[in-house]
Amino acid sequence: MRRTLVFLAISGLLSCSTPGSKFYMPAEWQSQDAVWFGWEDESVQYYPMVVKAIKTLMPHVTVKVAAKSDSLLRVAKNYLFQNQIDTSKIKFYVEPGDRYWIRDHGAAFLVNNNGELGVADFDWDRCGYPEWLKYKYDNNQDSIQKYWSLRQETVRQTSKVDSLMAVAEGASILKTNIVHEGGAIEVNGKGTLILCEATVLHRNPDRSREEIESEFKRVLGVSKIIWMKKGLAEDPLSKSGRFITGKYFAAWGTGGHTDEFVRFANSNTIMLAWVNEEEKETNPISKMNYERMNENLKIFEQSTDQDGKPFKIIKVPLPDLIVKKVVVTEKSDSISNAFFGVTPAMFKISEAPRVGDTLLRIPAASYMNYLITNGLIILPTYVQAGSSKEKEEAVKKIFQEQFPDREIVFIDIMPQNWEGGGIHCSTQQQPGRKK
C-alpha cells in the first residue's frame, strides 16, 4: 500500500507541475499549523515535561498527538485529562510503528506556493543502529545479524510513520532512500541546509556525497548545503563511553544531530553552541566541544548562504557540564533506575566497563535544542541541574534579541536530556500552508 501511495503522490507532482508546485521546507520560525508529539508506553518518565510543553503550546498552536495503537492513545488522553489538559482541543492519531521521538522518524513537512502540503519521506534505521552494531561487535557478522533481526520489524514499522502522517494530512509524498532523521535537518527556508558529516555519512556509508546532496536538494527544495564536521561530545552514537584523561565518561546520543549545536535564527544568522577559551580546560568534555565548535565556526566563516552572502554568527553558551556518578550493574532496573541504569552490554564489547566500575554519565544538555512556534520559544533550563544562573540569563538575552516578538518560556527537560534528546527532538512542527 505504501508503494502505491508514494507512486500516486509522485505521479501527481509530475503531471501537475505548475510554477508554484515545487515543494520546500520552510524555516521553523515561519507560521505553523500544528506541533506533533509521539506517545510511547516505555517513556513515562518524559510525560511531566510533555504536559508542561502542551499547556505552554496550546494558546499558540494546535497540538497533535500520535500513538501506535488505539489503546495507547486512550492512555495518552486519560493522562493528559488527569493533568488538567482539555483533550477536546488536541487532535489524536493512530500511527502504527510510532514512538516517542517523533522529530526523527516522523514527517519532515514541506509546503509550496500553491498552498499544498508535502512530506519528505526519508528512510529510517533507528539512528544508525546497523552501523552501531558493526562498531559494537567489531564487525562480527553473526552478532550483527542476530541483533539487527531483533529490531528489524519494529524499524520497518517506524519507517512508515512519516508517510502515514502525510496521508493523514493529505500531503504529497517525496520519497527518498537516503537514511536520515529530522533532528539533523536545519534549513533557513530560503534554500540553505546545514548537515553534519558525522551523522549523514555514517547513515549512508554506500552513497557518495554527490548522491546524498542531490537527494536532499530534490526532496527538501534547497540549493545550498553546508557540511559541519562533528556535533557535541555529549551526543555520541547510541550508548557510548570512553576514558578521557583517566575518567570514564558515558552518554547516550545520535552521533551529532544539528539540533544540539547549530540553528538558524533567521535566514542569514546562525546560532552556534559555544565554549569560551577560559572554559575549555575545566573538563575534558568542554575541551572536546571547544575544538569541535571552533572547527565548525571556521567552516561557517568561509561559507555563504544561497545568495552568496556571508553569515552573521552568534555564539550561544553551552550549559556548565552536568555529571552524575553511576555504578555499572549486571542488569539495569528500568523502573527504579530509569535514567541512569548502566550495564556492560550497552557498550562496545572491547571497551565496555566492568560491573562495579564507576563512570560519569553526562546528558545531552544544550540550549540549541529548543522549540520555536507561533509567538513562542520553549528553552531548556539547566540552573536546577547545576549550571550557572548568569549563563542562562545570557542565553535568554541572546534569544530575546534574536526573537524579540516571541514569548520565551524555560522548561526542565532533563529526563529527555539524560536519554540523548530534548524538546526539539520530542516534537515535530507542521508548517502553515500558503494561502
Q: b/e string for 237-261 if b means 16 or more Cβ within 10 A?
A: bbbbbbeeeeebbbbbbbbbbbbbb
Residue 265's nearest CA partner among 148, 389, 405, 360 is 405
- What pLDDT score does 341 carry? 76
Rg (CA), the chain: 21
**In total, how many domains does the chain have?**
1
Longest dimension (CA), the chain: 65
CA distance between the termini of the chain:
31
CA–CA dist 181, 254 (Å, integer): 9
Is residue 377 within 8 Å of 316, Cβ to Cβ? no
Q: pLDDT 10s per residue in the chain (435 long)?
A: 333 334 334 434 444 456 688 999 999 999 999 999 999 988 889 999 999 999 999 999 999 999 999 999 999 999 999 999 999 999 999 999 999 999 999 999 999 999 999 999 999 999 999 999 999 999 999 999 999 999 999 999 999 999 999 999 999 999 999 999 999 999 999 999 999 999 999 999 999 999 999 999 999 999 999 999 999 999 998 888 777 777 889 999 999 999 999 999 999 999 999 999 999 999 999 999 999 999 999 999 999 999 999 999 999 999 999 999 999 988 765 443 445 678 888 888 888 889 999 999 999 999 999 999 999 999 999 999 999 999 999 999 999 999 999 999 999 999 999 999 999 999 999 999 977
185 Cβ partners below 8 Å, 6+ apart? 25, 108, 193, 220, 258
Q: CA dist 369 to 105, 312, 381, Å?
A: 17, 20, 11
Quickly count helices (H) and strands (E) in the chain: 12, 20
Nine cell digits for residue 221: 527544495
Asked whether residue 153 is assigned to any structural domain, the reply reads: no
- What pLDDT score does 4 carry? 37
Is residue 381 within 8 Å of 411, Cβ to Cβ? yes
Asked whether residue 351 is assigned to any structural domain, the reply reads: no
Asked whether residue 132 is assigned to any structural domain, the reply reads: no
Asked whether residue 384 is assigned to any structural domain, the reply reads: yes
Which residues share a beta bridge with 309?
none
25: domain CATH number?
Answer: 3.75.10.10
Q: Phi/psi of residue 132, each to 5°?
A: -65, -40
Residue 110's nearest CA partner among 193, 11, 224 is 193
Asked whether residue 257 is assigned to any structural domain, the reply reads: yes
CA–CA dist 62, 110 (Å, integer): 18
Is residue 178 within 8 Å of 252, Cβ to Cβ? no
Which residues share a beta bridge with 287?
none
User: How much is the pTM?
Assistant: 0.93
Asked whether residue 335 is assigned to any structural domain, the reply reads: no
Which residues share a beta bridge with 373?
376
DSSP string, 271-298: EEEE--GGGTTS-HHHHHHHHHHHHHHH
Range of the domain at 101: 2-124+159-323+362-431
- What pLDDT score does 247 carry? 84
Asked whether residue 193 is assigned to any structural domain, the reply reads: yes
Residue 42's CB: how many other CB atoms inside 10 A?
A: 10
CA–CA dist 61, 12 (Å, integer): 30
Helix (H, G, I), strand (E, B) or coil at 144: helix
Asked whether residue 27 is assigned to any structural domain, the reply reads: yes
DSSP label of 225 = E
- What pLDDT score does 369 carry? 98
